[in-house]
Amino acid sequence: MSDSASVREDSVLECDDCISPAEAFGIVADETRLTILEALWESPDRPVPFSELRRRVGVDDSARFNYHLGKLRGQFVRKTDEGYDFRHAGEKVVRAVLAGTFNEDPVLPAFSAPGSCVGCGGSLEADYGDEKLTISCADCARVHAREEFPPGGLEGRSSEALLSAFDQRVRHLHCLAADGVCPECGGTTGTSLSREADPFDLDVVVTHRCAQCAYEAVSPVGLVLLDESTVLGFLSSRGNDVCGTPFWRFPWVVGDDALTVVSEEPWRIRVRIEADDEALVVELDGGLSVVDSAVEPVETVA
């Protein structure tokens, strides 16, 4: 990375007292220090007094323990009058360990997923590998969902519970990103539409990208509408459980048939959502804001 690209002049990350990322990772790259963080995490009450924390960690040498605790203090741990507690960075390290991000790489063979393929009507299946959960058609292999999912999220969950957690996680992350907040670093995300190739085999896809950490989330256009009040009201009033139905089971979310590109300069997208004998037609701009909506009857074929 060049010097000009490393930190913007007006960046909140620019400061004289900050330690470098390499130094920060070096501090926690020690078994005793990780054990201290884990002991803090497992403590029923915080702050934890020095002697109690040392007992929990199991280090007899007080000077040695104080040395390692001192390395964590300031960036990962804070000292109070009552003892020691986390700073945000310390909690993030422990959460990353518990999520299996650093030391787990499980693989799950394909198992049945609810719903049917929007392309061929075939059955759906899910599989897990490379820290991603994928839902695709068992017959034509069309991808309906693919998103990162922490390895720790597999622990203690049945296949049904795993798919439910995956559904809720995807909705939450993309909702945050669509609202301009990066799920990873809290930075600012931008939203763009494109016709570029994507894993979902769709005509148009949405990309949310963070300007700070380069986090990127790619999704179908319809996914953002699962949090849109107009859509929620229309479907709920007609007996559709939007929150309790996995997002990949809505054809207007993962399929192209309900989507019409009105224009590309500027972007205008129409999504048609049918329920019973009526349809809600929603028009979106390039930032995925609803600019128009209307309810119309569904034409029946005689």
132 touches 147 (CB < 8 A) = yes
pTM: 0.70
User: What pLDDT, on a 0 to 100 scale, did the predictor assign at position 4?
Assistant: 38
Question: Quick one: pLDDT at residue 249?
Answer: 96
- The answer as to whether 178 is a domain residue is no
For residue 62, tell me if it sits in a domain.
yes
Residue 291 covered by a domain: yes
134 in any annotated domain: no
What per-residue confidence (pLDDT) applies to 8? Answer: 39
Residue 203: per-residue pLDDT: 87
Residue burial 254-284, b: 16+ Cβ < 10 Å; e: rest: bbbebbeeeeeeebbbbbebebeeebbbbbb
Asked if 234 and 295 touch (Cβ cutoff 8 Å), the reply is yes
Within a domain: residue 162?
A: no
- Total length of the chain: 302
The torsion of the CA quartet 197, 200, 202, 207, rounded to 10 degrees, works out to: -70
- Nearest-Å Rg of the Cα atoms of the chain is 24
Q: End of a domain among 67, 99, 131?
A: 99
Is residue 262 within 8 A of residue 284, CB to CB? The reply is no
pLDDT per residue of the chain (302 residues) written in tens, 0 to 9: 334 344 334 443 444 455 565 666 677 778 888 888 888 888 888 899 999 999 999 988 888 888 888 888 888 888 989 999 988 888 877 777 765 555 556 788 899 999 999 989 999 999 998 889 999 999 999 999 999 998 888 888 899 999 999 999 999 999 999 999 999 888 999 999 998 767 777 889 999 999 988 889 998 999 999 989 999 999 999 999 999 999 999 999 999 899 999 999 999 999 999 998 999 999 999 999 999 999 999 876 55
Residue 129 lies in a domain: no
Q: Is residue 128 part of a domain?
A: no
pLDDT at 247: 96
CB 122 within 8 A of CB 140: yes
Check residue 179 and report its DSSP letter.
Answer: T
Residue 237 forms part of a structural domain = yes
User: What pLDDT sits at residue 102?
Assistant: 53
Q: Confirm if 260 and 269 have CB atoms less than 8 A apart.
A: yes
Residue ranges making up the domain that contains 73: 21-99
- Cα–Cα distance between 9 and 4 in angstroms, integer? 9
Q: What is the pLDDT of residue 14?
A: 47
CATH number assigned to the domain comprising residue 84: 1.10.10.10
CA distance 16 to 291: 46
Question: How many domains are contained in the chain?
Answer: 2
DSSP track, 221-258: GGGGGGG-HHHHHHHHTTT--TTTS-GGG-HHHH-STT
The domain boundary residue, chosen from 99, 130, 156: 99
Cis before 47 (ω within 30)? yes
Q: Tell me what pLDDT residue 21 has.
A: 56
Last residue of a domain, one of 46, 79, 99: 99
